[in-house]
Amino acid sequence: MLKHIFFWLSIFSPMFLLKANIVILNGLTHHYTVEKSQVYKGKIAIENTSVTPQNVKLFLQDFTYSADGSISYTAPNSYQRTNAAWIHLNTNYVTLKGKEKTEVYYEISVPDSADDDGSYWSVIMVEPVDDPIPGQNEAGISISSVVRYAIQVITDHRPENAKQELRFEGVKVEKENGKSIIMVAIANKGNLYCKPTVSIEMYHKTNGDKAGQFSTLPMGLLPQTSKSFYIDAGKLPPDRYSAVLLATDENENAFALNVELDIKND
């Protein structure tokens, strides 16, 4: 380990089930530095991109994810570091006319009992819903296809007293269209949300020559979660390589790991 690393998270992606008439205009991650006993205000900007009216419901859930790609959505207040009980929406249901935009407002009321330092989080789900269809309760199967968005609301309480603790949990190489893709699993064992960039510097084991340096875009990492970072190393020749992995934040704090990689033919 070189020195502490602090990241910033921007995770989320919509959960695609199929059609998308609703879009979120002001981002899928809302991040706040908070103090207990204070109230903070936010909003969700929504647009109906279709020409027909669209109903939308909003509700809170907890969520977490891991490096194997799994994402878990659970009832509010399922996790120790949830802030779902702090968040109050001004409405749970809106109807937008064709091409209409609207804003749903929320407040974050940080309780006096928020004594633990670090990040708390939950997600506001934004889900299009259809009008009831006559006879839909009759026997049979009905399939509805929607795009559901999860908007992360992350609150950092006294972040100066908190820290992330990154651990490299696995490294492997796969081939994709002739390119070497290095998959690096990283876990945040600390209590502070962070957003690292992962880079790798590679050297030929046979002669020590530098083969290249490659990096990822920044990705967020919540406390007690893990994520796989994918590094495109291009079309490296088959060889045994020595490499240095580095996870670095915007303040140049970093964690490092020495590894050996075997790049094989397709």
In eight-state DSSP terms, residue 86 is G
161-198 tens-digit pLDDT: 999 889 999 999 999 988 999 999 999 999 999 999 99
- Is the pLDDT confidence value at 5 over 90? no
Distance CA 75, CA 179 (A): 41
Helix and strand numbers (H, E) in the chain are: 0, 18
DSSP 230-261: EEE--SPPSEEEEEEEEEE-TTS-EEEEEEEE
Residue 19: pLDDT band with limits 50, 70, 90 = low
Distance CA 225, CA 83 (A): 16
* Neighbour order of strands in the sheet with 87-89: 22-24, 39-48, 101-109, 87-89
Q: Which residues of 202-235 are buried (b: 16+ CB within 10 A; e: fewer)?
A: bbbbeeeeebeebebebbbbbbbbbbbbebebee
DSSP 119-183: EEEEEEEEEEEPPPPTTTTSSS------EEEEEEEEEEESGGG----EEEEEEEEEEETTEEEEE
What residues does 259 pair with on adjacent strands? 243
Residue 135: pLDDT band with limits 50, 70, 90 = low
41-57 tens-digit pLDDT: 999 999 999 999 999 99
SS3 call for 85? helix
- pLDDT for position 145: 58
- Is the pLDDT confidence value at 20 over 90? no
Residue 147: pLDDT band with limits 50, 70, 90 = confident
Residue 265: pLDDT band with limits 50, 70, 90 = confident
Which residue segments constitute the domains of the chain, with CATH numbers given? 15-161 (2.60.40.10), 166-263 (2.60.40.10)
For the chain, the first-to-last Cα distance in angstroms comes to 34
Residue 234: pLDDT band with limits 50, 70, 90 = very high
